[in-house]
Structure 1
Amino acid sequence: MTRSPGTRSFGRPRPSARLACLSAILGLLAGHPAPAAAQVMDNDIGAAPMQRVSTPEPAHVSLAPIVPPFSHPEAIFPNPFGLTKWLRDRGVNVLLDNTNEFAGAITPPTRGTTKGFVNYRQGASNAGQYAAELDIDWNRLAGLRGFATHMITVGRYGTTANRMFGDWLNHASEDYGGGGNVVVHLVYAYGEETLFGGRLAIAAGRMAEISDFAASPLFCNFQNGSFCGRPKGITDTNYAAGYPASTWGFRVRGRPTHTIYAQTGVYPIENGIYSVAQHRTGFKFNGANIIGYTAPVEMGWEPVFAHGTLPGHYKLGGSLFSTPQNDNLFDIAGRPYALTRARPRQHAASWSSWAMFDQRLVHYADPASGLTALWGVVYNDPHTSLREYVAYAGLLNRGFIQSRPFDTLGVALTYTKIANGVTMTEEDLLRQGAALPNHATGVQRHAMVLEANYAIHVMRGVIFTPLFEYYFRPNAQGNLRDAALLGFKSHVEFL
């Protein structure tokens, strides 16, 4: 029996039909995306507040309240079953990603029989996090003009390799710690009102201070913790809340011109902000452990040269901490407390400051491509800090291979100077045979961390980054061998 071309068949589908069905399902999951855009590590979840700071306002906008565009990174499933578009049309933005970081030492650690050395070993580690972001434009959803809310939760896993060779200053994998070892940890949840066409933004809620201040979305093109997230010196006191930690906070940002901004805020200092005792899940809101306040101030200039192809960001800032802190050298009588064994002198307040710059130097064909230089310094109160200052410099070369327009070659170097008071205190303690602070097994003076990597755009929503890290003077100690590590960082944006 023969069938006409239009006759339906109720038997097993032909191979071509099965392929068509599979194609249809994949099409529903993926939506109908445009050709691949530049998916890079600086578009991961958590970078959204930094991107809002780093995005100049248009030259000609109205004075009406607005909600700035939400982050829409390239994803594996940009519009599953049409749901993403349906939600975004109604002001709801949902993102889901995973960042994984692996590092393994290719050099042996310092060996010894004294306390602190016996556990050092050559090894590898893996750390990472899965993250979810929910942004709601309440202007679209409920007619509240200019108002939006933002929330991020994470789950972190694994450990970091640097402690295997004695370094406690800079993690080999930044996605480690602060997550409470729970399935869901709240990073932040806050509301923001944006007025006068973006010229004034007021935010309050559970906020990560260092996601807005002393921040750049470029930092996490690297993996090591001296650089990624933020230059490590900015959280030297553990009183400045940085991702994935948050406190109650209030922040106001103004833009008198489309290339200049100024912002300030007030953030309660919560004792143990990075510890599990108080902030394992991030959902502890009662503020019973508030011990002071920090007030950051920052000003920035964001020029765009060469007809919009060479953006730059130049920022200066500082923060005052109201909580009393111990002097790192002297006791209450002005003598070295390591010798007198008296109580350290207390300072009523302390401070931190920063100067951070980045500038695209060369532009290639793709709008997001080019050679970008970034450099800066964080300088802390030398009487109360561990890290007196951290200086950094780096280069990001994106799209320099014409056939690989979304790949990025990166290299960065950070230099950490330990405060003189800490060094002198440790020298006194070592002469007495006493235990040293900061997990040190020798006197701490200065350290450097070098990272070179190559981010490969594997497919839409997937970045794989082989990398090399080198630790000069781990833990800022001269008695520990330098350490070299090989590893990789991967970022998968699902939605």
Structure 2
Amino acid sequence: MDNVGEFNVGPIIPTLAGAPHLFGDWHGIQPWLVKRGIFLNFSLNEEYMGNITGGKTRANVLAGQVAGELDIDWQRLAGVNGFWTHMLVVNGHGRSFSQAVGDSVTNPEQIYGARGNVVAHLVELYADKTFFNKHVILSLGDIPTGSFFSFDYTACFFMNVSVCSNFAPGKYNPGGRDWPSGNLGGVLRIRPTDQTYIMGGVFAVSPHAYNGGISGWAMAQSGLGKVTSQFEIGWMPEFGRDKLRGNYKIGYWYDNSRYPNLYEDINGNSFQATGQSRRYEAGMNVAWLMFDQMLMRNGPGLTNGLIIEGGAGYAQGNEVAMRDREWVGFVDSGTSWRRPGDFVGILFQHVDMSRTVSLQQESSQALGQPFLSNQWGPVYGIQNWENMYEAFYSINLAPATNLQADFQYMQHPGATTTFKDVAVLGGQFTTNF
């Protein structure tokens, strides 16, 4: 991960390119490809989870994916200066542990998500072009917005997907859908200095549940008339002689689509009680503040050391079921205990659901009607808040290969008191081959 977040080497956003491989250099094939600007990588991620107490049901689930990525540096391949293309395709398999345990709000599993069980799901397909000695970068195509905005390259060490890689409440809304779903659009990044950036993006908003269809390949879908505009500024300092790297960012996005109020009809009353048409409101707002800072260095890479990370996010509660999320965590690599490829981490998250969605659910309960699903999946009671605690240890087994033990504890699973608190034991096997 040494080139993650760097604009002057390798692909301009984090990819698998440059990572080590379980099978080495493929008998000389990898160096031959890289010399010609072709970065071809494959990765495997398998995870197992089971709840030992609490939740909707007692469940144990295996899920996983195989990812294939092709990044091309067209300067090396064809002499086109500062031009890259990126394509990422994943195969998904398994079942949803979140639905079995009754908690899609913090979503304890990392792998099983929007792509479900598919042979080949298109995650991204876009191009980068740099200008003015890489101080201006333009990206166009089918882009997971969370690969650029509110992105944290350290958060995916944790299995809970709510902070990987960009965190809720923005990531599950139509204008800001994250990996493995992309939005058609573009991003312009300006770097006034090597340690600062200003970034803006405009993306088409899909009214469909799956951007590009369930497999992600149908880009020319109907109803793409509205747009979301995202903006972020960031500072990437390095402190002291050990160059302790930090990332500090603040951002905002606005979606000009019309969305239904979660509770009100056209007269401001419960649409469930009156049977009147729902009130539609123009515009959706999401904002975030994020940081990570290395406190102690254990090696040369961006993640080789003790890192504190955290953030806070806010969404417009009359249209988005989750109002805010706050989180803080620590990650440490293992050089200090002579295991340089090992990682250990702890994480805390807090979630508040919106008062508007609680009113809707109180209305459903009073009328004896089923609770309505929202952006975070099925609802099993009146939603208020949830806390999540996570701890993991990742053991390096071989080059680019790790086995991770994970524990999570969720208070108010699904942000309700319907089910008892959940304790989850999990494991994850990852490798680049």
Query: Aligning the two structures, in what range does the TM-score lie when normalised by the shorter sequence?
Result: over 0.9
Contact kept, 8 Å, 1:468 with 1:486, in 2: the verdict is yes
Matches of residues 245-260 of structure 1 in structure 2 within 5 Å?
A: 245-260=181-196
User: Is structure 2 residue 31 aligned with structure 1 residue 85?
Assistant: yes
The total of aligned residue pairs comes to 426
Give the aligned partner of residue 149 of structure 1.
Answer: 85
Among all aligned residue pairs of Structure 1 and Structure 2, give the percentage whose two residues are the same amino acid: 27
Q: Compare the two structures and name the one with the higher strand fraction.
A: 2
More divergent stretch after superposition (337-346 vs 405-414): 337-346
User: Is structure 2 residue 230 aligned with structure 1 residue 279?
Assistant: no
Matches of residues 67-466 of structure 1 in structure 2 within 5 Å?
A: 71-109=17-55, 120-179=56-115, 181-274=117-210, 279-365=213-299, 367=301, 368-399=303-334, 401-438=336-373, 439-466=378-405
Q: Compare the two structures and name the one with the higher helix fraction.
A: 1
TM superposition shift of 1:129: 0.8
Q: Could you report, residue by residue, the CA deviation over 1:93-143 in whole angstroms, capped at 9, with x for unpaired residues? A: 10000111111111144xxxxxxxxxx421200111100110111111111
Give the aligned partner of residue 55 of structure 1.
Answer: 6
Contact kept, 8 Å, 1:298 with 1:317, in 2: the verdict is yes
Counterpart residue identity of residue 370, structure 1: G
Contact kept, 8 Å, 1:133 with 1:150, in 2: the verdict is yes
Change (3 A) 1:104 1:202: same
TM superposition shift of 1:366: 5.3
Q: Distance in 1 between matches of 2:332 and 2:11?
A: 32
Change (3 A) 1:332 1:203: same
Q: SS state of the match for residue 379, structure 2?
A: coil
Contact kept, 8 Å, 1:57 with 1:259, in 2: the verdict is no
Change (3 A) 1:142 1:273: farther
TM superposition shift of 1:232: 2.6
Change (3 A) 1:423 1:393: same
Contact kept, 8 Å, 1:271 with 1:291, in 2: the verdict is no
CA RMSD of aligned residues (A): 2.0
Show structure 2 runs of 5+ residues with no match: none
Q: Distance in 2 between matches of 1:371 and 1:132?
A: 30
More divergent stretch after superposition (181-190 vs 131-140): 181-190
Contact kept, 8 Å, 1:225 with 1:232, in 2: the verdict is no
- TM-score under structure 1 length normalisation: 0.82
Q: Distance in 1 between matches of 2:413 and 2:266?
A: 32
Counterpart residue identity of residue 350, structure 1: M
TM superposition shift of 1:222: 0.7
Q: Distance in 2 between matches of 1:442 and 1:181?
A: 28
Q: Could you report, residue by residue, the CA deviation over 1:267-287 in whole angstroms, capped at 9, with x for unpaired residues? A: 101122537xx5122211223
Counterpart residue identity of residue 185, structure 1: H
TM superposition shift of 1:454: 0.4
TM superposition shift of 1:335: 2.4
Show structure 1 runs of 5+ residues with no match: 1-41, 59-65, 110-119
Contact kept, 8 Å, 1:68 with 1:198, in 2: the verdict is no
Select 2:406's aligned residue among 454, 463, 467: 467
Change (3 A) 1:341 1:308: farther
Matches of residues 23-62 of structure 1 in structure 2 within 5 Å?
A: 51=4, 54-55=5-6
Counterpart residue identity of residue 492, structure 1: T
Change (3 A) 1:343 1:400: farther
TM superposition shift of 1:488: 0.6
Contact kept, 8 Å, 1:236 with 1:385, in 2: the verdict is no
TM superposition shift of 1:67: 7.1
Change (3 A) 1:428 1:286: closer
Q: SS state of the match for residue 115, structure 2?
A: coil
TM superposition shift of 1:457: 1.0
Q: SS state of the match for residue 235, structure 1?
A: coil
Q: Distance in 1 between matches of 2:335 and 2:126?
A: 39
Q: Distance in 1 between matches of 2:300 and 2:221?
A: 48
Q: SS state of the match for residue 324, structure 1?
A: strand
TM superposition shift of 1:68: 5.4
Counterpart residue identity of residue 73, structure 1: A
Counterpart residue identity of residue 166, structure 2: R
TM superposition shift of 1:180: 5.0
Q: Could you report, residue by residue, the CA deviation over 1:132-182 in whole angstroms, capped at 9, with x for unpaired residues? A: 110111111111111111110000111232322322323221211222522
Q: Distance in 1 between matches of 2:116 and 2:184?
A: 18
Larger Rg: 1
